[in-house]
Structure 1
Amino acid sequence: MKNNEIDIYGLAETNLSHRQSKIWQQQFGFHGYFDYSQQGGKGQGVGIIVSDKYDIFVHKAVGHKGRVLYLDLNFSQKKNVRLIQVYINANKKERAQIEELYQYIEGIIDEAKNKNMEIIIMGDFNINYRKYLMAFVSNRWYFKLFKMLENRHLLDTIPIFNEDDESIYTYIPPNDSKEKSRIDYIWASLPILGQSLNSTVMENDHSSTDHNTVTLSLDTQLFIGKSLPKINKSKKKITRTVFLYDEMDQEDDDEFTWDNFRAGLDYEIERLKLKDRSITKRKHIDHVWDSLRQLIMKSANENIKSKKIIKNKFKVAPEKKLSVYYDLRYIINRIQEIRSCITGLRNYPNQEMINKWINYQDVIVKLKDKYELVTSDTIYTFLDNAQFHSYLDELNEIRKQLRIVFKLELNIMEQEQIISNIKKRCDNYKDDQGRMIQSITEKEMVSISIEKIYKKDHNGNEVLITDENQ
C-alpha cells in the first residue's frame, strides 16, 4: 500500500477468521476491518485496510455473512461516504445465497442514499458487465446487481477513465483455455466521480492471486471538506473531430483507404459475431445498432483521416439543449393563450379561432406521440366555451407529464456532462498537465514577465536595464 500510495484497500476471499485477522494487523501494523462467517467454509471472507490518515474518519463497520462489509466514513456534516466491499459467490448454483446478498446490498445502498451519503462499492462481483451490456441477457437473474446499481445512478469507473476498457481484465485464469474477464469493479456515485482523477487496473506483485487490483484515485479535498476557490469562468475553447472523406484513396500506398475502413469494420463485426445475434424484440435492434455504431466509429477513427477543429464555446443554459425544453415551453404558451381565450370568450368562438386551435391540437397530438404521453383521446371541435375549458385540463395534464420527462432528461444530461468533464481531466493528465492541475485546484496559473527594471549604479544614478542576460 505504501509503495503504491494506497490509503484504502479492499480484500475479497480472505478466508481469515476474526482471530487470524487480529494477528495480521499486529504483524503488519495496519488498521483493518474484516468479516468472516464460520458457517461459510472456504472461499469467503472480506476485509478493508485503512491507512492512519483515514482511519480516524471511520464511524461504523458492519459485516454480513463473510460476503459484504461496509464502512461509514464521516468527514463532515455534509460529506459522508459509505464504502462497501463485496465478494459475490462464483457458483451460480448458489442462487438463493446470491440473491439474498443482492437484496442486502440494495438495502444498505438505499439506506446510505436516504442519509445523503456518497457511495463506493467495490470487490469481486463474479459477473461480467460487458456481457450484461452487449449480449442481450440483461434479464438473467445474476445480472440484477448491475441493473440495481444503474438505477441508483452509480457508475463503473473503468470505462470512464479508459478508452480501451474492452481489453482490460481483472481475472487472469491460470489455465489458458479459460477466458480472461473483468469481474472485479469499483462503482461510485456521481459526486465521487466528479472528484476522481483516474481509475485503472494494476498487477498484484506482492501476493499470489489470479486477480488484478482495480484502483480509483480521488481528490482528497472531497474528503477533508476544505472549500475550493470559485471556478475560473473564463471562456475556453473546445474541439471536435472532422473526418476528411475527400482525402481518402489519394495514393496507392496510403493507409487511409475505404478498403481499409471496410476491412476494419468487417473484422470488428466478425469478432463480436454481430451477424449471429438473435433479434426477436425491438430492444434487440437497438442493441445491435448501438454496437454497429460503435464499431463504425472505431473503424473510422483508425482508417479515415481526420483533424481537430477548435470552436468557441458559448454558454447556454443546460435545459435549453434539450428538445423537450422547447416542447414544454410550447405547451405552457398554449396554456397561457387558451386562458386568455376563455377570459375573452363571451358566447361562441369565431371560425378563425376555431381553425387556429384545431391546428394547435394537431401539433400537440404529434407531440404526445413523440413522448408517448398518456392523456385523453378526445378530439375537440372548439365550438363553445366548454370545449376550451376541457382542453385546458388536457393541456395541464400534458404539461405535468412533460415536466417529468424534462427533469429525467436533464438529469441524464448532467450525468453525461460529469462523465465528459472527468474524461477531459484524464486527457489533460496525459497531454496538458498544466490544465489538469488548473482544473483540480480550480486556480488560474499565472506567470509574470519582467521586460525592464531600474537599478542604481555605483554613482547612485538610476540606470534602465532591458538586457535579459543582466
Structure 2
Amino acid sequence: MTTNNIDILGLAEINVNKNMLRILEHMVQDKFKLYFTTEGKKGTGIRFLVKKEFAVYVQQFQHFEGRIGFIDFYTKKKKIRIIQAYINVQDKEKPQVKRLYKQIEHWTNQCLNSFVKDIIIMGDFNTKWNEYEFLDISHWRHDIFNYFKKHFIKESTLVFCDDISDMYTYIPNNPNHSHNKIDYIWCNIDLMLSAIDSKPRDVQPVIKTDHRMITLDLFMDDIVINKNNTQKCQPSSKTIYCYDEMQKTDGEWNWDKFNKDIIEYLDNPNIKLTTNKIRGINSHKQLNQLWNLFRKAIIHSAKCNIKQKKMKVKQNCHPLYDSDLKRDLNMLKGMLNKIHGTKLDFNDRSIENRQKIIAHITALYRRSDGNKSNTLSDFISITKRHNIIISNHFLHNKTFQYKDILQDTIIILESKYINATYEYKKNIMNTFIQERNQNYKTDKKKMIKSVLEQPHTSLSIDKVYKNDNNKDTFYTEENEVKEQTNLHFQMIVSAINCEKDLSQHPKWQDQYQSKHDVQHTIYSDLMK
C-alpha cells in the first residue's frame, strides 16, 4: 500500500481464521487500521485496510452475511460510504445473491436519499461485464448492474478507458479459459467528478491471487483538508525589484550602497566568518543558521537600496468550482444536512411540530460578511437566482413539504452542475485540441513537447556583462550577446575550442564527410 500510495484497500474472499486476523491486526497497527469480519465459511471474509491518518474519518463499519460490508468515511468536505462485496453468482446461490443485492441497494439508497453522501461500491461480482454490456441478455445476476444504471452510478474504468472490451481482472488458472472482467468499482456521478483515474493493476507476486486490482484515484483536496499543506492567503500585490534602473555608483539607487550595507552587516563579530567558525560547522542545521544570517543581510539591503514598485496580483477564479451554481448547491446541501442534524419530523402534522419547523427555517444567523440572514430567505434567493419558481408564502401553506421541496431543488441544481461540468470539460478539451493543431502549423516544437508532457526548461539571455583584463564591457545587442554567450560556453571549465586535425582521426573524418544518400543542399544551412 505504501509503495503504490494506496490509502484505503478493500479485500474479499479471504479465508483467514480469527487468530490470524488478530495477529495481522497487531502487525500493521502502527501504520494501518484493519476492519474485518470473522465468519469462518469458505468464500467469506470482508476486509478494509485503512492508513492510520485516514482511519480517524471512519465513523462506522457494518457487514452482512460475511460477503458484503461498508465503512462510512466522513470528512469536513465529503461523506463517502465505501461498500466492499464478494458475490458468488452460481445458480444454487441465487437466494443468497438476491439478499446481498437487496442489502447493497438498501445501503446505497440511504446515501442517495440523503443528498449529502457519496457512494463507492467495489469488489468481485463474478459477473462478466461483456455479457451485460454487449449481449442483450436479461439475467437475474445482472439485476445489480441494472440498479446502478437506473440510479446513474457509473463504473469507474468505463469512464477513463475508451475501450474496455479487452480489459480483464480475472486470470484463470486453466489456460483454456478466457480472461474476464468480473471486478468493479462503481461511483455516483458527483463523486466521479473528483476522480483522476481508474484502471486495473497487477499485484502478483506481492499478493498471491488470480485477480488483478482495480484502483480509483481521487483528488484528495476534494476529499480531505490537508492541515500540513494549508495555503495562506496570498497578498493582493507583489514587489518588483527594478534592477534595470540601478546605477553602479551614482544616483539614489546604486550597487555601491547595496554592497556597502551587506559588508557592514557581515562585519559584525557575531556573524563574520572565521576559520574557527568554519571548522565548527558540524551539521546542516548549523550551516543553515549561518546562511540565514547572510540571506537576511542581502534581503535587508535589497529592500533599502534597490528601487521597487508594487504590482497587483490578479486573482484567478475557477469558472466552475468558484461559480454561484456550485456555492448555491453546497449551501442547499448544508441546509438539508442541518435538517437531518435537528431530526425534525416532517410527517408529524401537529401544530407544535409545525412551529418547530418554522422556527428552524426562520432562525437568524450571521453571515461571514457580518450581515444577518435566515435559511428561508437564503433558500428563496437561490431559487430566484436559478429561475426556480417558488412562492414567498409557501412556508405557511406547505410547511411539511419544505424538506421535499429542498431535495427537489438540490436535484435540479445538481443536474445543472453536471451539465455545466460536461460543457466546461468539453470546451477545455476543444481548446486544448485546437491549440495543439495550431501549434502543429506554427510551432511544432511546442506541440511535440506538449504531447510528450515532459518537463523542460528554457533559458533566455538578453544581456552579458564581461570583465576582460580588468576592463568591464556590457553587451546588449542581440548578435553581440549571442557571440559572447557562445564564446563563454566554449571556454567554460578551462576548455579551449581549437582547430582539430581530422587527418589524425580517420573515424572522425569519415563521420564528417557528406553522405551520398543525403541531399547536398542541407549542409549549407545546417550550422545557421
TM-score scaled by structure 2? Answer: 0.47
Partners of 1:425 and 1:33 lie apart in 2 by 46
The AA in structure 2 aligned to 1:79 is K
Q: Which residue of 2 aligns with 1:42?
A: 42
The alpha-carbon distance between structure 1 residues 449 and 51, as it changes in their structure 2 partners (threshold 3 A), is same
Cα deviation, 1:282-304, whole Å, max 9, x if unaligned, reads xxxxxxxxxxxxxxxxxxxxxxx
Q: 1:416 to 1:108 in 2, by over 3 A?
A: same
CA contact (8 A) 1:11 1:85 kept: yes
1:162 aligned residue? 161
CA separation of 1:84/1:414 partners in 2, compared to 1, >3 Å: closer, same or farther? farther
Which protein has the larger Cα radius of gyration, Structure 1 or Structure 2?
A: 2
Moved more, 187-196 or 419-428: 419-428
* Other-structure match for 2:123: 123
Partners of 1:122 and 1:424 lie apart in 2 by 33
Partner in structure 2 of residue 215 of structure 1: 215
CA RMSD in angstroms, aligned pairs only: 4.1
1:384-428 Cα shifts (integer Å, max 9, x gaps): xxxxxxxxxxxxxxxxxxxxxx99997885686588699999999
Amino acid at match of 1:31: K
Residues 360-394 of structure 1 deviation map (CA, whole Å, 9 limit, x = unaligned): xxxxxxxxxxxxxxxxxxxxxxxxxxxxxxxxxxx
Question: 1:111 maps to which residue?
Answer: 110
Say how many residue pairs are matched.
286
Letter in 2 for 1:212: R
Q: Which runs of 5+ in 2 are unaligned?
A: 232-315, 321-411, 437-447, 489-528
- State the secondary structure of the residue aligned to 2:131: helix
Q: Distance in 2 between matches of 1:28 and 1:425?
A: 48
Instruction: Indicate the structure whose relative CO is greater, using CA pairs within 8 Å and at least 6 residues apart.
Output: 1
Sort the Cα spacing of 1:125 and 1:58 in 2 relative to 1 into closer, same or farther, 3 A: same
Instruction: Flag the 1:448–1:193 CA change in 2: closer, same or farther, 3 A.
Output: farther
Counterpart position of 1:51: 51
Deviation at 1:204, TM superposition (A): 1.7
Q: Is the 8 A contact 2:89 2:141 kept in 1?
A: no
Residue 230 (structure 1) aligned with residue 229 (structure 2): no
Q: 1:180 maps to which residue?
A: 179
Higher mean alpha-carbon deviation, 195-204 vs 419-428, is at: 419-428
Cα separation, 2, equivalents of 1:186 and 1:422: 27
The verdict on how the C-alpha distance between 1:408 and 1:85 changes in structure 2, with shifts beyond 3 A counting, is closer
Quote the residue 1:357 is aligned against.
none
Question: Are 2:153 and 1:151 equivalent residues in the alignment?
Answer: no
Query: What secondary structure does 1:93 align onto?
Result: helix
1:433 Cα deviation after fit: 7.5
User: Displacement, 1:152?
Assistant: 1.9
1:121 & 1:449 partners in 2: Cα distance?
52
Structure 1: distance between partners of 2:62 and 2:154: 23
The answer to whether the 8 A contact 2:463-2:474 is kept is no
Match runs of 1:9-408 below 5 Å: 9-29=9-29, 30-38=32-40, 41-76=41-76, 78-115=77-114, 116-137=116-137, 139-205=138-204, 206-225=206-225, 230-231=317-318
Say which SS state the counterpart of residue 6 (structure 1) adopts.
coil
Q: Residues of 2 paired with 1:19 and 1:69: CA distance?
A: 21
Is the contact made by 1:198 and 1:426 (CA closer than 8 Å) also made in structure 2? no
Q: Is the 8 A contact 1:455 1:463 kept in 2?
A: yes
Helix, strand or coil at the partner of 1:142:
helix
SS at match of 1:103: helix
Sequence identity percentage: 28
Decide whether the 8 Å contact of 2:111 with 2:117 is kept in 1: yes
- Seen in structure 2, the aligned counterparts of structure 1 residues 231 and 419 have a Cα distance that, compared at 3 Å, is closer
Over 3 Å counting, the alpha-carbon distance change for 1:414 and 1:126 in structure 2 is: farther
1:128 is displaced (CA, Å) by: 1.8
TM-score of the superposed pair, with normalisation by structure 1: 0.52
Distance in 2 (alpha carbons) for counterparts of 1:188 and 1:151: 13
8 Å Cα contact 1:87/1:125 also seen in 2: yes
